[in-house]
Every structure is written in structure tokens, then in C-alpha cells.
Amino acid sequence: MGILGLEGVSEFYRRGKAMNRKMVKTITLRTLALVTVLCAAQPGRAADAKTLYPSMAPLEQYLMERNAEIALARSAAPDSISRDAKVMVLGRQGYETAIEGKNGFVCLVDRAWMGSFENSPEFWNPKNRGPICFNPPAARSIVPITLLRTKLVLAGESKAEIKESMKTAIEKKELPVLEPGGIAYMMSRQGRLNDDAGHWLPHLMFYVPLTDAMTWGAGVPGSPVLLNPQFNGAPEPVTEFIIPVSEWSDGTPAPPDHL
Amino acid sequence: MSTNRHLIEQEELMAYLDGELPMDRATETLSHLDLCPECRALAADFRGISQELMAWAVEPPEVGISSEINAALDERLQKRETAKVSSPRLENRVMTNRWVWAGALAIVCVAVGLKLTLTSRNRNADRSPAYPSMASIEQYLMPDRNAEIAMARSAAPDSISHDAAVMVLGRQGYETAIEGKNGFVCVVERSWTSPFNSAQFWNPKVRTPACFNPAAARSILPLTIKRTEMVLAGWSKAQMIDSIKAGFDDKELAAPEPGAMCYMMSRAGYLNDAVGHFVPHLMFYFPPTDKSSWGADLPDSPVTLNPQFQGGPEPITEFVVPVGKWSDGTVAPVM
């Protein structure tokens, strides 16, 4: 999942049972309300994150040793999938192909700037590492978003400028239309999605054209489906659902109480 | 692995894999596994053994051969009792006679051979399905309408199914029992939504609660309704297949809408004789798609391909993703 989106989702998930179903009527409102609640409830933390990561750190802090990055990227999915996947690693000019693939999947390690533009105090957190393996439809339609955002970051644009550039690219149809059936594996226990969640839970992500979260029953009490606010039309016209799964990519079980 | 070099005992590792360790100890074990390749390999071995054991099924004995063996054993026991009465020391003498042991072994071999032969013969008989044709309609109906409504709703958490439309099976087909508000539709499917070549196709015990999201309610549920109408009209499987093909050709039936999915998280359901209520899961529907594009059915992948429509007349691919809890919030077993 997007690195910043997780902050909201994980907190939401923890609080899900206690939420009053009548409190919000739509998931859009729910998500906005959640963010508001989180910021209000924990002003120190949000302020800390903003203080800690106000702008991009030196590029070196986002880079990794190449082989370690390849291994981390592959850890996003079971070996049966990732061993034949294409692997991309972050270089000084952007993501580059480290290993050619055979099965259409693409594995890489997301950085913090793949979080939401709107509610992401960790947008520049240099410690975040989000291993992710995209299936072929997602590799064709979501990876280009990652590549473009990264290109803009490395060109020195600010968060606001990147958001505006993405919006322009979408309007000019410079990004591919979302293909049906796009999913991604995020089952690495070695990842670090943000300061709060750490490696969080193994999960799958599902990409659909912009839609109301309730069409999947996402985010309501007891539902295993969560809405990731990573894109959500701001500006990328993609709705992203998350479903936690029971095991990490190495086959070890995830904490069952949190599923 | 020893306690001198590792923080966890083998027994604890097995308990960890079975989800039986307390959370704090499980967390320590997780951390140790992360750092210890030797322990990871051992854990993988244990998992492999568990999976093999879970997959191992003991074939039930044939009824006929059991009665034959039982009769033979009874006869031998009676003879033994008689012999004991007439000659108490005979048993000891017999047990020490290696020729008698050899004879007994030969008898066992003959019995095993006989059993294998009969088993082989009976397997052919077993291939005749347990549910060769439709049972009486009463066996598929749920007499208590409210019970069927409750079962249908149990497919999804109450936060979803509470506002869903609910359909129940009547003698003429599915009918709306409760109007919905959120676009979801919950039903209890019957066995005929199985693949047409399934041995369970006419199993009257099957009750499959499902809550379709709005996209699936518009594009997948009509298939359930159509199959049901044809079943209740007494059509043959061949007729149903032809009609479904024609339905897609004529655009009467449509491809799955983007984002079509379904909740099946009921622990009250009965999916078939083999799996019972199975595990809680979600299902995702697509036009025909190679399962490799989702990494389905690969080792350690949480995604599996559901054969429900695979190879059938409906041009649909259906993926299944298990989830951790039943709709009532209780923790489910790991698949």
C-alpha cells in the first residue's frame, strides 16, 4: 500500500470495531473524518511528522544497496511469484530495471513520496520502504504513476508541484488508463511502511477506477476490506482497496488478532 | 537447533506455526526467524509436514469387505475360545510355531489382495455420483424464511448485510424478501451454482451464503437467478448450458462489471460435502483471465482460482482470497 495511506488505514483498522456505524455515511466522509480525528486526537504526532519530514532529505537517504533493494523488492510476494518478476531499483535518475522478468509481475520498493498528497506528514520520510509486486495489469497502469512521481521528485519538485504535475499528466492522458484486474502483493515483513505501522500486515491491494468505498464494503466495522487513501482521485483517478492476508511472503503467519 | 544457539525450542516453533503461542512469545519467535536461516528452514520443513498430513486422506474401508473381515475374525475368535477351553496351552505352542506365523502372513496377504481387488472394483461403482439427479424441491428449500434471510446475511459483516437486499429461494425461483439500501444483495446459493461437472451439482444439503457487491449484483447474481429458474423448470444440464451460452451470445447475460466481488464469510454455510463451511473468503470476478496474472494457486500465494465458472459456459474467471475472520468477528482457521 502507499506508504502514507497506511497511517490512516492502520489507525482506522484498529479503531474500526469501536466506530459508530451511523457516524459517517460514506467512506469518503469517513476517510476525511478519520484524518481529521487522527490529527485532532494526536496533534503532537502529526506535527512531529511534519516537523521531522518537512521536505526532501538528501537523495542518499532514500537510496539502498542494490542487491539489498532487489531482495527487499522480491520479499513483497511469495518466491513463486517474485523470482520470475521484473525487479526495479531506485537510482539517482529514477527507477531502473535491475532484473528482467518472465511472468509480467514487477517488484520494486516504494519510497515515501508514493503516499497521499493530501494527508501525508511522512511524504518525505527517508526511512520508509514499501516493497510491492504488481501483477501485469497493475504493472502496466500503476507502475507508471510510481515512475512519474519519482521522476518529479528527483527533478527537485516540491510536494505541491509534484501533485500539480501529476494532475496535468492525467489531464493530458500521459498516464495509461487503469486496466481491469490490477492488484499488488505487499506481503513483506522486511518493509517499513511508516513510523507508526512498521511493516504492518501482509496484504493485497486492488486497483479499480475511482469509486465509492462502500461499493466494496470497505472500512465498515467487521469488513476485511479497507480503503487506502493513497490515490483516491487526488489527483490519480484510482481507488485502492486493501485486504490483509494471513501469512507473510515467507510463509510465516501474520498476527491473527490483527486480521 | 538447540536452545544454546537459538531462542526458541523446536516444540515452540511447532506451536508458533500452529498459532498456539502467546502473542509476546510469537513476536519473539517471529523476530528470531527473521534473523535465523536455520530456523526458517526448520519452520519450512514443519510446514511442509503439516501440509502433507493435512492433505493425507485415509480411504474409508469398503462396507462389504469390512463385514467379510469381521465375520472371519468372529469365526476365528470363536474357534480360539473353543481351543482355549479344550487346550489352554495350545495357544502358546501355536504362537511359537514359525510355520503358523508364515501361514497367518499368507492369509493376511490374501486378504489385503482381496481388499485391493474389491476396492478397485468398488471404485468404479463409487464413480457413480452420490447426487446423480435433482432431489425433490423440498430438500433444497428452507422451510423457515427467516432462517434463510439470516443465513444469507451471515455472508458478510452486519455493517454490510444489514442494509443489503435479501433474496430467498421459493418454488418459482429467487424472490426478494427484503429490499436493500446499499446495493449489496445477499442470497443463499444452492448446489447448482457449482460447475456443471461437479459431483455436488445436485447435493441438496448445500447452502452457500453470499453477499454480492453492487457490481456483482448486476452482473453475477443474474447467473444464479437464471440457473435457478432453469433448474426449477426441470431443464437438463445440457439444456441449461446451451441456454447460458445463448444468453451471453444474445447479450441477455453480461460480462462481470469492473470491481465485481462478493463476500462469503459465513460460518453457517455448507459449501459441499468436502469442505463444509470452508474458510471465510472474498471472491473477485473478471472476464476470462489467466490465473497466473494474479499469481493464483502458486505456492504460498493467498490467491486461488475458483473453478465455479472455469470451463463452464459462463465466460468468467473467479479468484478467491481467504480472510482472517468470519462475518461474526470470530477468528477463522488459516487455510
Alpha helices by DSSP H, listed for B56-89, are 63-86
pLDDT computed for residue A119 by the predictor:
79
Measured between CA atoms, how close is A219 to chain B, in angstroms?
A: 10
Do residue A223 and residue B301 have CB atoms under 8 angstroms apart? Answer: no
Do residue B331 and residue A256 have CB atoms under 8 angstroms apart? Answer: yes
Closest CB to A222 among B157, B215, B287: B157
Determine contact: B327 vs chain A, CB below 8 A.
Answer: yes
- Unique residue bearing C-alpha cell 497466473: B292
For A179, residues 6+ apart whose C-beta sits below 8 A from its C-beta are A137, A138, A140, A141
Determine contact: A222 vs chain B, CB below 8 A.
Answer: yes
Residue A118's pLDDT band, with cuts at 50, 70 and 90, is: confident
Q: Which of A27-41, A163-177, B12-26, B314-328 has the lowest mean pLDDT?
A: A27-41
Q: Which of A3-17, B23-37, B100-114, B160-174 has the lowest mean pLDDT?
A: A3-17
**Domain limits, chain B:** 10-55, 63-126, 137-322
- Name the nearest CA neighbour of A250 among B140, B35, B78: B35
pLDDT digits (tens, 9 = 90+) for A19-55: 333 333 434 444 433 333 333 333 344 455 557 899 9
pLDDT computed for residue B10 by the predictor:
74
Is the per-residue pLDDT at B92 higher than 90?
no
pLDDT digits (tens, 9 = 90+) for B16-28: 455 454 434 443 5
Do residue A217 and residue B17 have CB atoms under 8 angstroms apart? Answer: no
pLDDT computed for residue A29 by the predictor:
40
Determine contact: B178 vs chain A, CB below 8 A.
Answer: no
Grid coordinates given for B226 = 437464471
Measured between CA atoms, how close is B323 to chain A, in angstroms?
A: 6
Q: Which residues pair with B185 in a beta bridge?
A: B165, B212
Strand order, beta sheet including A182-186: A94-99, A86-91, A106-110, A130-134, A182-186, A203-209, A238-244, A226-228
Is the per-residue pLDDT at A91 higher than 70?
yes
Do residue B30 and residue A189 have CB atoms under 8 angstroms apart? Answer: yes
